[in-house]
A and B are shown apart, each in its own frame.
Chain A
Amino acid sequence: MHLPDDLDDYLRGDSALSRQYRRESAPMPPHALERRVLQDERGESEVARGAARSGGHGEKLPYLAPLAFAASVLLSLALVLASLFGPQPARHSDDAPRLVRTAAHVGLAQNATLNHRQHLYSSDPPHARARAAWLADIGALRHAGRNSEADAELRRFRSAYPEYAEAELKAVR
């Protein structure tokens, strides 16, 4: 069916039908519905802005990534050089008995120094101490009359140096 007049007239926009339609009531969305839509939009925008804030630094500060990489490389290089050429950690001299050395350093009476002995030596691995210094410490304990501690130290000495001749330990027994 071809009705050119109807459609052409209508499409010109001033047909009686269009005028009548425009005169009809024009309902609008209820206010509660409008509030829901606008709240949705605000919620989405907040999410988008939050994402932009947390994920958008790369765009805002493009120099940060290479700067962080360069800093990491420099730090690693400095650590390697320091471990190769830096000052070595100071080592304890084993030339003198540690008990005597400690006492001289803190200036305390010998008995007072002996009270600190376990705190000073308890974490030392057995082989970290020279035999002579260790024996001197045991001797000092004996000399101070603290025989039970001297015996315990002697047992530890023997377990650390089982090859040490019993005859050589007579002085500290």
Chain B
Amino acid sequence: MEPLDEDAGLMLRYRDGDADAFSALYARNKGPLYRYLLRQVRNAGAAADLFQEVWSRLIATRARYEARAKFATYLFHIAHNCTMDFFRHDLRVQHRSRAHAADGESTEQEVPEHQRPDGIAEFAEQQSALLAAVARLPQEQREAFLLHEETGLTIEEIARVTAVGVETAKSRLRYAIRKLKNALVPAENLVERAPRKRALNGAVNGAELNAPT
């Protein structure tokens, strides 16, 4: 068993009826959790709903909590599940919208704003260069990066939270880092590198971040 971290101790106290422990736990984790959700779903309203949902689930299931791992893996596993539910729901909405579009019906009311490409672009434009690049990462890579940055989880812990193999988690994080570094290369460097790249690939695609995971 891994050694207990401070948050796990707080959660155990909360499980046993200490309401003050919840306040402390909440204060220590609200920021990372909120940023993870906000940057995952790229919409403040949806992030707020998910934030409340995550804490509600934690509160409702506190009696079953066992400190088997770092508390962040427990909290962010709940957050991961909530986020996946959110994306699955949106995927269903998108499929319905496409079906309606094929039938010649309007899709304006069906697609959530944060799922529209222009909505994502707008969200990214409001961020710094780095956060805009994070927003444009594929969801799995974005999640791996955010989990590491916001919680300090290791590759193994990220794999546990996201329910994938260690190698998969490592690969996702590696691609994320590479894409972010490339996106942050100063513009003059891109201009210098562009002819060489064009010569190699025949086309400039430095702005494209969507590579396989």
Which residues of A are in contact with B by a Cβ distance under 8 Å? 1, 3, 6-7, 10-11, 13, 15, 17-18, 20-22, 24-30, 33-34, 36-38, 40-42, 44-45, 48-49
Contacts and interface: CB of A to CB of B under 8 A. Distances in A.
A49 B23 CA distance: 17
Interface stretch (B4-12, B66-74, B177-185, B197-205): B177-185
Given A3-B174, A6-B174, A6-B181, A44 B34 contact: no
Interface in B31-63: 31, 34-35, 38, 48, 51-52, 55-56, 59-60
Contacts of B38: 27
Query: How many B residues are at the interface, by size bracket?
Result: 20 to 34
A41 B26 CA distance: 10
B contact patch SS: helix
Contact of B149 (A6, A18, A42, A44): A18
Given A6-B178, A20-B130, A29 B48 contact: yes
Contacts of B22: 41
Contact of B35 (A3, A27, A37, A45): A27
Contacts of B128: 24-25
B101 interface: no
Interface in B167-213: 170, 173-174, 177-178, 180-181, 184
Contacts of B75: none
A33 B178 contact: no
21 contacts: A1-B174, A3-B174, A6-B178, A15-B177, A17-B184, A21-B130, A24-B128, A24-B131, A28-B30, A29-B31, A33-B52, A36-B52, A37-B51, A40-B52, A40-B56, A40-B59, A41-B22, A41-B26, A41-B55, A41-B59, A48-B17
Contact of A3 (B31, B154, B178): B178
Nearest to B60: A44
A contact patch SS: helix
Nearest to B128: A24
B48 A33 contact: yes
Nearest to A33: B48
A12 to B, nearest CB: 12
Contacts of B137: none
Contacts of A34: 30
Contacts of A44: 59-60
B163 interface: no
Contacts of A20: 130, 184
Given A3-B178, A7-B173, A28-B34, A33 B130 contact: no
A41 B173 CA distance: 34
B30 A29 contact: yes
A34 B29 CA distance: 12
